[in-house]
Amino acid sequence: MNEADRSPRPLRIGVLLTLDRDAGELFADARALEAAGADSLWVEGDGAEPYVLLAACAAVTWRVGLVASGGTDAAAMATCDRLSRGRLRDAEALARAGEHWIRESLPADRAAWRKARDAAVASGATGLVVPNDARLMDLLRNPDQEDDRADLNIAVG
């Protein structure tokens, strides 16, 4: 095994979506999360519910993975998979295949975000799943950028 084979996989970030806002805002968030580098969009629910929301997200995204948790409607799953061009995944099937996704609340700041990511990598996790929040965009786009605003200090003399 060469050195490249032993390097850790990059930590993947999944975002848990809920229909708790206007659908247009949610779809804009889905596009923005994909552009910011999210690996996957997750939806939890019963029956066909997660597949309906994920199929709508599939219509406004291109690359991001779509993960359903708790969905049980086989016909809705098949339709969603077709509409998503094969991007649909089942959370329980991912777990059975050995993927370990850690559910995490949204970190309070960059230091907490870094700590959560480091802990997930150290545990061998596949990725983190965090709730959708406006603050998440900046964390995804600039995960390690320090908030040093020394330029705002006013010289007093």
Beta strands in the chain (DSSP E): 12-16, 40-47, 65-71, 88-90, 101-103, 127-131
Higher pLDDT, 156 or 55: 55
Mean pLDDT of the chain: 89
Domain coverage including residue 32: 11-143
Query: Does 36 reside within a domain?
Result: yes
Higher pLDDT, 48 or 97: 97
- The band of 9, judged by pLDDT with boundaries at 50, 70 and 90, is confident
- The band of 41, judged by pLDDT with boundaries at 50, 70 and 90, is very high
Tell me what pLDDT residue 40 has: 98
Is the pLDDT at 8 greater than 70? The verdict is no
Query: Does 150 reside within a domain?
Result: no
Nearest Cα neighbor of 34 from 56, 66, 64, 68 is 64
**Global pTM?**
0.86
Tell me what pLDDT residue 156 has: 52
Query: Does 1 reside within a domain?
Result: no
Query: Does 128 reside within a domain?
Result: yes
Portion of the chain with pLDDT greater than 90, in percent: 73
Query: Does 113 reside within a domain?
Result: yes
Query: Does 121 reside within a domain?
Result: yes
Count of the separate structural domains present in the chain:
1
- The band of 1, judged by pLDDT with boundaries at 50, 70 and 90, is very low
Using CB atoms within 10 Å of the CB of residue 60, give its burial: 0 to 12 exposed, 13 to 18 middle, 19+ buried: middle
Query: Does 2 reside within a domain?
Result: no
Query: Does 148 reside within a domain?
Result: no
Helix/strand/coil for 22? coil
